[in-house]
Structure 1
């Protein structure tokens, strides 16, 4: 079969299309013939050797896959790598059969980014109806879902995005206000949009945006941190955290993989929301498997909206 194999860490050019042996049966796993492989910032960290888990080379990236089993059942799920390929092992505990009325492009948005958005909002940050929440990268795959989920949960949503197009998308998805994430006085812009401090701030850049969002959080508010897409990892100011009694939660989805109820329950809610028209998935681009490097370059350039994925059938 064909797979993207990294033999070294580095830029997108290290993602090389390679012929590798077909997969053999493994206890507790499905073998999936992949139709979609999700492209995520986690894959960028893997490629650059900055991922939260160690990676041994040679390595095939990809943690989010959708496809069919040999008997024709369609699953979406999560893998510890190996997703950028024509086949993948998918552990039954993190595999969900896709309902017939959910498309491939809808389903691939949900396994990693949808589940992450759900649990960042409602598990880590414990967003409650009536609270005001700041959501970064609101035009991206995770952010666009988080805007809708927070709004559906009764929150007031302040969406951050870097371009007018992405801010218009966030507004169309239900954001109460949008803010240019590149604004010089980002804290001031958030406070103005929210009419004061916010109860919840989400943060995934790790760079200058982190302290700006934190400064807009109200006393006894919460900050949920789930990435460092900028490549920076700024320290949090302990004085401010104590002064305002702010609770900070880190979030990494694999810590829920062993929970037998959390992910199945949230996946069912995500499927139901898509089916009912309350959750709109945004497809930002589907690339042939051989163009994985182009997909990574597109993700890094942040010129797209919504979800990027690979189609290993092409």
Structure 2
């Protein structure tokens, strides 16, 4: 089968379009014929890697949309089922293997291209909003990187929920119209959000802030987080760790919560099922959607990565792998 793999860490050019063997399944696994995969910022970080700590050849990719081709005895799935899944060894390939606990059936009325944008960002966003952030309709919330995949979905879900005030941040205000079209009440830059959040809330601050950027954005988020507010930290796209002092939280009664979808997939995969079922239904009933920035062929994965790194896009970037 065709796949995109890498044999070293580095820039996008380390990705190689290659022929490899079709993987085999074990107990409680399914083989999926891939139709689409999405490109996530986590793919970029993994591709760049940490010299001396790689296990090669390496295949990237967090999620897949496709059709079940083979099942293990007693499987809850059948050959021909249309599914989304989190494969165990990457998704940049024509065939992938996934644990049954991380495979979810999708209805026939959902086009593969639409649903392919969903798995990672939508399930993560739903869990962040409802399980981790415990957002209430009366809250003012801040969503960093609001034009990205997770930010786009968080904004839509918050709007659908009826959250009082949704403030999005972006690197460039050219993306502000897009973020507002998703439901944000206000959009500002990473440089100005602290002051603008305090102005918008009469110096009270935001109740919940969703931070996937880290670095100094984390510290400035705490400066505009309300007493008893919650900072939800779930990434570090800036490449720098944020710093939190005990004095930032104890006297103000602020909370800092961390969450990783990758860790949860590994340690508690059953926890994802309720969120997956909910967002699949929301997509199927056209209550939420994710704009597709661009679709690349599998052999052009290098170009997909370069677009992600440029940050000159909004919505989701997809890789088309096959037809069905």
Fold similarity call, TM over 0.5: yes
Range with greater deviation from structure 2 (106-115 or 90-99): 106-115
Residue by residue, what CA displacement relative to the aligned partner does 1:84-127 show, whole Å, maximum 9, x if unpaired? Answer: 11110021101011111212122122211101111111111111
CA distance in 1, matches of 2:56, 2:246: 38
1:248 is aligned, of 253, 256, 274, to: 256
Range with greater deviation from structure 2 (249-258 or 228-237): 249-258
Q: Which residue of 1 aligns with 2:76?
A: none
1:175 is aligned, of 171, 176, 184, to: 184
CA distance in 2, matches of 1:193, 1:301: 31
CA contact (8 A) 1:177 1:193 kept: no
CA contact (8 A) 1:17 1:290 kept: yes
CA distance in 1, matches of 2:206, 2:147: 20
Q: Which residue of 1 aligns with 2:5?
A: 5
Indicate whether 1:190 and 2:217 are aligned: no
Compared with structure 1, are the counterparts of its residues 206 and 81 closer, same or farther at alpha carbon in structure 2 (3 Å cutoff)?
A: farther
Compared with structure 1, are the counterparts of its residues 194 and 177 closer, same or farther at alpha carbon in structure 2 (3 Å cutoff)?
A: farther
Q: Which residue of 1 aligns with 2:75?
A: none
Compared with structure 1, are the counterparts of its residues 212 and 300 closer, same or farther at alpha carbon in structure 2 (3 Å cutoff)?
A: same
CA contact (8 A) 1:110 1:267 kept: no
Q: How does 1:209-220 map to 2 (within 5 A)?
A: 209-220=217-228
CA distance in 2, matches of 1:212, 1:162: 15
Compared with structure 1, are the counterparts of its residues 114 and 55 closer, same or farther at alpha carbon in structure 2 (3 Å cutoff)?
A: farther
CA distance in 1, matches of 2:47, 2:22: 23
Compared with structure 1, are the counterparts of its residues 260 and 313 closer, same or farther at alpha carbon in structure 2 (3 Å cutoff)?
A: closer
- Residue 60 of structure 2 aligns to a residue in which SS? coil
Compared with structure 1, are the counterparts of its residues 243 and 110 closer, same or farther at alpha carbon in structure 2 (3 Å cutoff)?
A: same
What is the deviation of 1:80? 3.4
Q: Which residue of 2 aligns with 1:149?
A: 157
Q: How does 1:1-314 map to 2 (within 5 A)?
A: 1-49=1-49, 56-70=55-69, 71-155=79-163, 156-181=165-190, 183=191, 185-196=192-203, 197-257=205-265, 259=268, 261-313=270-322
CA distance in 2, matches of 1:195, 1:36: 46
Q: Which runs of 5+ in 1 are unaligned?
A: none
Question: What is the number of residues matched between the two proteins?
Answer: 310
CA contact (8 A) 1:125 1:200 kept: yes
CA distance in 1, matches of 2:236, 2:88: 20
Q: Which runs of 5+ in 2 are unaligned?
A: 70-78
Range with greater deviation from structure 2 (7-16 or 157-166): 157-166
What is the deviation of 1:254? 3.0
Compared with structure 1, are the counterparts of its residues 13 and 260 closer, same or farther at alpha carbon in structure 2 (3 Å cutoff)?
A: closer
CA contact (8 A) 2:218 2:243 kept: no
CA contact (8 A) 1:31 1:87 kept: yes
Residue by residue, what CA displacement relative to the aligned partner does 1:10-48 show, whole Å, maximum 9, x if unpaired? Answer: 111111111111122322111111111111111111112
